[in-house]
Structures are given as structure tokens and as C-alpha cells.
Amino acid sequence: MSGMRRLVAVAIDRHGKVAGHAGRAHHWQVYDIWPGEAPESVYRLALDEQACLHEWHVSTRPERHPLHAVDVAIAASAGDGVVRRLGERGVTLLTTAESDPEHAVKAWLAGSLRPGLPHEEPGCGGEGHRHP
């Protein structure tokens, strides 16, 4: 990581663990990271149903989203579309097999974040959303 401040958002489930499917995640824990300091949990995003990334990015006007303000997003899995659409807005989306959000952030900082599972969700579909 370069010597600059970063915001990292981690998708979390109702038990506070890293959630799967970044595009469908409604809760994100955001960490503020200053060079040389431990990550600090600073706020939590709670998104309405229509504000999850999947719904937002396939809407008729996918303008600014709260997650477009972070530098890195982490979830257990993510489809190519959400990875690409966040990337277009300067956000790097990573997947991980790590279940603890803070450990995931620390592993990312150390360059040792374990990769997540492939994105597979049979029920995932809808207008403008396809999987290769």
C-alpha cells in the first residue's frame, strides 16, 4: 500500500462476518487507514434494498453510490459486473475467504489476503445482469 490514507469497506452479514456476494450486500463496515497505523473502524453503511450495488449499477441512472467513496471494497465473492463497475469509479473490489472483517483488512494491508470463492449464485439475474 502506498503512503496515503485509504478507506476500506468490508461487506458484513448479520453476524458481523465477511458477507458473500458484494453486489447483494446491504451492510458494509468502513475502516479508515493511515500509513503506519492500525485500521480503525469508523462507520457502517446500511443500504436499503434498492441501494445494494447490484440494483444500483443496473438502474437507469447509476450515479454516485456511498461505496464509490472508498478506495477498496472486500467481500467473500463478487461478480465480474460489480467488480468492473466499481473499478470504473476508482474502487478496487477484492474477494476473500477470511471471515473476520478486521483480519481481512489487516491481511490486505500485509499483502496476504486469501482469495474468495468463485462467484456463483443461481438465483442471481435480472435486467442487465448476466454472468459469463
- pLDDT given for residue 132 in this prediction: 37
Residues 6+ apart with CB under 8 A from 104: 10, 18, 74, 96, 98, 113
Global pTM reads: 0.85
- Mean pLDDT score across all residues of the chain: 86
Pairwise CA distance, residues 83 & 76, whole Å:
13
Give yes or no for residue 103 having a pLDDT over 90.
Answer: yes
pLDDT of residue 119: 62
pLDDT of residue 113: 95
Closest CA to 56 of 89, 28, 23: 23
Give tens-digit pLDDT for 104-128.
Answer: 999 999 999 999 876 655 433 333 3
Residue 3's pLDDT band (cuts 50, 70, 90): confident
- pLDDT tens for each residue of 39-55: 999 999 999 988 899 88
DSSP class per residue in 67-94: GGG-SEEEES---HHHHHHHHHTT-EEE
